[in-house]
Each structure stands twice: as structure tokens, then as C-alpha cells.
Amino acid sequence: MHLEFHCVQRNPWSVLVLFGDLDMAGAPRLRKEVAQMVAAGDTRLVLDLTAVDFIDSTGLGTVIAALRRVRSHHGELALVCPEPRLQRVFEMCDLDRVFEFHESVDAAVGASA
């Protein structure tokens, strides 16, 4: 399955809801979308991975690149990742030390309010 996503506004946050596989086929599209959003001034982003079926190393790299891009513009990035199987992928790379996993968009937005 390929990667699909759409953006939902939860002022002051922009939420990118992802569906499908965050892999080397879909990662460039996500990277481009994040770059465009940040360039447009959206520097408080939530990546909602609830409906992501699979993530590979390229996908992980894209999430890290999104964090770096947002931080370089003095913004914040939050992850919604309630699935233990996806959390394990982040944990295997010690990225659970970098990212806090939120159970829902409400929790992610509320955590920084």
C-alpha cells in the first residue's frame, strides 16, 4: 500500500494524518509536504501515525528530518503512535529517547498547550 496523508488544523497545530506505508516509496512525498508546510509557517506539527501499517528506515529518517526542519524554525513536532508494533521500530533505533509517543491527537496537542 502506498502512503496517503491529509492535513487537519488544530490551531495552532497542523496535524498530518498518515495512511498506509511510510517507506522509501512514500517518504519523499512526506518530506516534501513537511518542507512546504514549514516554509508556509506551520511550525507546530503533529504526525499522526495511527493508520500507518508499516515503517522502514527511510520512513524513520523522514520523521527525523521533519523534526530537524521544524526545530530549525523554532517549532515543535509531536508524534501520535499508539501502536506498540510501530513503537518497537522506533525503540530498536533508540528513537524513543528522541520522540514522545502520544495515544491520540488530543493528547499530543494537549501535551504542549
- The residues, any chain, with a CB within 8 Å of residue 99's CB and separated by 6 or more, are 63, 67, 79, 81, 90
Average pLDDT estimate for 62-69: 97
* pLDDT value for 97: 93
Q: State the first-to-last Cα distance of the chain, in angstroms, to the nearest integer.
A: 35
Task: Kindly report, residue by residue over 4-38, the tens digit of the pLDDT.
Answer: 999 999 989 999 999 999 999 999 999 999 999 99
Taken in order 110, 66, 35, 49, is the CA torsion positive or negative?
Answer: negative
Q: Is there a contact between 106 and 82 (Cβ–Cβ < 8 Å)?
A: no
Residue spans per domain, the chain: 4-111
Q: Is there a contact between 22 and 54 (Cβ–Cβ < 8 Å)?
A: yes
**Does residue 43 surpass a pLDDT of 90?**
yes
Q: What are phi and psi of 103, to 5 degrees?
A: -80, -25
Q: Please say whether the structural domain 4-111 has been given the CATH code 3.30.750.24.
A: yes
